[in-house]
Structure 1
């Protein structure tokens, strides 16, 4: 170890205890999940309860019509990380030819044509059925109460609604009815309800209460069936048949069918992992971006510790360059397809990539060469959002994209919609560990209130994950009916000596793994505590095509928090990085829980940026 955590003030302590720990992006979700632990629920009961609360209290960041991925271990098999796959596929009729015939060259960032089959609810119910212990009514009681009786709305939610008010009023009246009752914006702190979603939850519970179903598992499956084939599926398809405004500035109808909705079931998959400095890092497969973090770690593993310190110019430069190489491979090879992960994660391949890193910032898009696999080179757009949208009008695309990070030309402590309509902000995350050793990290997202019109009888809208696909035949992430879009959702599990020791994750689209990488380096190599690592200055690269519409890139681009220090920032600029200063506390949304298998000590920590994420435990 050649660098250590600086002796600086942290915003809050790393919580410690032995009973149970929770951390999430909203204090109400954290409190509800912790309440489940206090009533002898396990980590999976708690995570599901907290996740349904996140749908209600962070509707600008996720919703029931969205998707999620999780990674977890059970107390009975602490050495076996698993992936909870809640990423729905493209509808069968979502074809490149159809979208091209609609006059589109990119999948829109909002509207029903951007929607994959909703996957989050089925995934959470699968986790509860197979690994939880509670009955469904007890788990959903928290979210149902907030939806029916109200919760204090965040200022950020109000700001998001305000930014899309014209879109709602002019084009999405059902969204205006839910979020702007009587034509007025709510005020921060107002008690806001979603009675339609509350009624939907009650109907799901009624389906699970059928007296003919005699097992807990059967009752949960009854709710899953009602979601996939019952009143929810019928309402989604019926509503989607009407044309409405998309981020393209044009009107289109959706293509989702009852067969699409009935055909998707969430699943449990094996995790993909690599070894780094005596730790096993577990992620999703290459249908998500998770293995790009693993590739980055493999590249960095060949450097001395001093080059892995994110707080120095040398370390930041090395990390940024490694990230560019790994994410270029993500674009070239990843998707719901045959991906040569064994080769991409091999030590020999990492060595060839590592050799490309010099003392100057690369300005190129450089995927590697993999035997028998031709790399895909996406169109590298730098001005699409300005040139295309100026012809459509500033309000044409409001509500697009995943809420991720600060605008590239300003600091952003609050989410915002730029004049071009490009949304910036956050998504959601939750981590839980219980006293038995069950541990889960999960990142729910999509279906935010600005992604498509609200389905009035359901109280939620569909997501926009298909914008991550390309309308280019031959791309590994090309739009294909029945195939999953390559998601950015990418929680992380860390194991040491065959035991899970950390569950973590972050909102942030393309930045999720970049920010988590800094946490891993600072805790594993630098010896930081969890809260120190979360509070420390963050940065990320923008030198690759974005996963979200309008999919532009910035050659050599790097966004940094000012707290990284003027001397470090100047040295990065001298090395050729095109640096954007994002403000002091603008980047990074990590939360984490940890467990020491030898002592049973549990810890939790949460992001202070935005004063919204909280940890709890004892």
Structure 2
């Protein structure tokens, strides 16, 4: 909000918020992570995607992982590290669409890292659980996250001077460059990808064996040259019409098109007639999610390296054929389609031997999710930033990766590397197969909606594989049932885990349907009679949807944030 009030636009504000999140939510994302950015720029009347999902190293091969005796890519450590794409994505967006000097973007993150901030409860819990690992193995992580050798308390002032110095050095190298704003941004990007950050990454990854989720120590394969060779790309969005709206998402290098596939399927049902959160409604939405995510498992991957038949997957004829599979009972099998007559390939995940749990942290790093897993708490992860400005611009970004649990801090930088390669399969020939210079299929999934050629809504949520279920429920509450944005963030949330999870160890729970406990007991009972294995989660525990909107008729900007987690914010002025 400060950036907007200084005269900056939505792009400036989103980037400033993105860098602050790297500091204040280190359990969810970091400077070594990744981000897809979906935006509309009024001056060009264009929706575009900036891909901040870095690829695998150029030397990445399935055989290389297999020779280590592994059946899966580990969920932590250095082996699953990919090129960190978040910094390059924010720089690409700022170069093309921002207005303020880089110093006015990074100053906020530098301030919080240098002078401190109240540590969120989730971060404090993660550090406490991981402290024995940080003390004995990931020593640089211990220097960053265990001030005075102790786990910091939730709410205490926490500083990250190493990360602050990295931001300040990037800024120093930027401001030393001759030329204007764009030249300075280019200099900062060079310092990160071809300068001191890349050098630190190259030295550490090539010389250090790191204990990871296998219970063994491995070096990584990411190099400074991999970082130097990469640049964030700008792409057209994937999109479909839904009613009088056009819904835009990133492409199939993310899971994002499952949102569009679900909408295409649901358009053939009378959702309003069913009633919001009725058993018929929840059943229909969940069954369509199963079909869309089954296609994700079979067909999604980096389209630069695989033939992803997205046009067919979103076509009316294919959708109609798939819609016929939605019956009165819960599906028990994973049923990917055969677009264009092609045979689907769903990878099988063979678990690696479980190492002895010498410490509680070993059970935590075996799971590739960002946060520590506690039985009493719904699993969530990642961050969301959505911004609309008075100039008519709208931005949605979902930053993640490089969290404190993913890999050890690179000495002298305050940065952990992202581990997104864990989402890839070791089966040859799959669109999401592990291989050189491929973008892992990410779960990160921002959304942007247009009506009559104008942006009316942008939104996102943390939540891994469940993002495109929880945000779908929010969107349907708005467009089908007429709820205002805030009420829509507060409506009942539910999801299915019928398909393999993207994160190691890639578990699935066929037929399980999770609903928040405030669901009508009669609805839960009817869902069970339909064959769903219903599990209940605590009230207001699933998802953290954030949204911005625009009402062109009344010349209003809108903002909403779910109360879940007590960690989301909505501000409008």
- If the length of structure 2 is used for normalisation, what is the TM-score? 0.96
Partner of residue 189, structure 2: 224
Partner of residue 209, structure 1: 175
Specify whether residues 236 and 253 from structure 1 end up closer, same or farther in structure 2 by C-alpha distance, changes over 3 A only.
same
* Partner deviation per Cα, 1:378-408 (whole Å, 9 max, x = no partner): 2167xx59x735688754343341237986x
* Partner deviation per Cα, 1:41-88 (whole Å, 9 max, x = no partner): 00000000010000000000000000000110011234x311111000
Residues in 1 aligned to 2:551 and 2:21: alpha-carbon distance in whole angstroms: 28
Residues in 2 aligned to 1:231 and 1:463: alpha-carbon distance in whole angstroms: 18
Partner of residue 139, structure 2: 173
1:309: Cα distance to partner?
4.4
1:365: Cα distance to partner?
0.8
Partner of residue 29, structure 2: 62
1:372: Cα distance to partner?
5.4
* Partner deviation per Cα, 1:441-486 (whole Å, 9 max, x = no partner): 0000000001000112111110110011001111110101101000
Matched, 1:238 2:235: no
1:279: Cα distance to partner?
0.7
Q: Check the 8 A contact 1:427/1:445 in 2, yes or no.
A: yes
Q: 2:330 aligns with which of 361, 372, 377?
A: 361
1:376: Cα distance to partner?
1.1
* Alignment coverage as a number of residue pairs: 568
* Partner deviation per Cα, 1:259-296 (whole Å, 9 max, x = no partner): 20011101211001001121111001111111111011
Q: Check the 8 A contact 2:486/2:561 in 1, yes or no.
A: yes
Matched, 1:428 2:395: no
Specify whether residues 246 and 404 from structure 1 end up closer, same or farther in structure 2 by C-alpha distance, changes over 3 A only.
closer
Residues in 1 aligned to 2:531 and 2:349: alpha-carbon distance in whole angstroms: 20
Specify whether residues 404 and 334 from structure 1 end up closer, same or farther in structure 2 by C-alpha distance, changes over 3 A only.
farther
Partner of residue 369, structure 2: 402
Q: Check the 8 A contact 2:78/2:220 in 1, yes or no.
A: yes
* Partner deviation per Cα, 1:113-141 (whole Å, 9 max, x = no partner): 11110000010011111100000011110
User: What CA RMSD, in Å, does the superposition of the two structures yield over aligned residues?
Assistant: 1.7
Partner of residue 584, structure 1: 539
Q: Check the 8 A contact 1:281/1:495 in 2, yes or no.
A: yes
1:538: Cα distance to partner?
0.2
Matched, 1:300 2:269: no
Deviates more, 1:175-184 or 1:34-43: 175-184
Q: Check the 8 A contact 1:66/1:445 in 2, yes or no.
A: yes
Q: Check the 8 A contact 1:68/1:489 in 2, yes or no.
A: yes
Secondary structure at the aligned position of 2:570 is classed as strand
Residues in 1 aligned to 2:376 and 2:277: alpha-carbon distance in whole angstroms: 20
Secondary structure at the aligned position of 2:455 is classed as strand
Secondary structure at the aligned position of 2:73 is classed as coil
Superposition pairs for residues 385-534 of structure 1, below 5 Å?
Answer: 388=354, 395-399=361-365, 400-403=367-370, 410-412=375-377, 424-534=379-489
Specify whether residues 261 and 123 from structure 1 end up closer, same or farther in structure 2 by C-alpha distance, changes over 3 A only.
same
Gaps of 5+ in 1: 1-33, 414-423
Residues in 1 aligned to 2:357 and 2:348: alpha-carbon distance in whole angstroms: 20
Q: 1:560 aligns with which of 505, 515, 530?
A: 515
Q: 1:46 aligns with which of 9, 13, 32?
A: 13
Partner of residue 26, structure 1: none
Secondary structure at the aligned position of 1:114 is classed as coil
Partner of residue 89, structure 2: 123
Partner of residue 7, structure 1: none
1:557: Cα distance to partner?
1.4
Residues in 1 aligned to 2:434 and 2:550: alpha-carbon distance in whole angstroms: 40
1:192: Cα distance to partner?
1.0
Matched, 1:379 2:345: no
Residues in 2 aligned to 1:453 and 1:412: alpha-carbon distance in whole angstroms: 25
Deviates more, 1:608-617 or 1:59-68: 608-617
Secondary structure at the aligned position of 1:594 is classed as strand
Secondary structure at the aligned position of 2:354 is classed as helix
Specify whether residues 57 and 288 from structure 1 end up closer, same or farther in structure 2 by C-alpha distance, changes over 3 A only.
same
Residues in 1 aligned to 2:507 and 2:485: alpha-carbon distance in whole angstroms: 33
Residues in 2 aligned to 1:85 and 1:425: alpha-carbon distance in whole angstroms: 23
Structure of greater relative contact order (alpha carbons < 8 Å, 6+ residues apart): 1
Partner of residue 146, structure 1: 112
Residues in 2 aligned to 1:438 and 1:204: alpha-carbon distance in whole angstroms: 27
Specify whether residues 397 and 231 from structure 1 end up closer, same or farther in structure 2 by C-alpha distance, changes over 3 A only.
farther
Q: 1:339 aligns with which of 308, 312, 318?
A: 308
Q: Check the 8 A contact 1:42/1:438 in 2, yes or no.
A: yes
Secondary structure at the aligned position of 1:531 is classed as helix
Residues in 2 aligned to 1:392 and 1:573: alpha-carbon distance in whole angstroms: 40
Deviates more, 1:568-577 or 1:315-324: 568-577
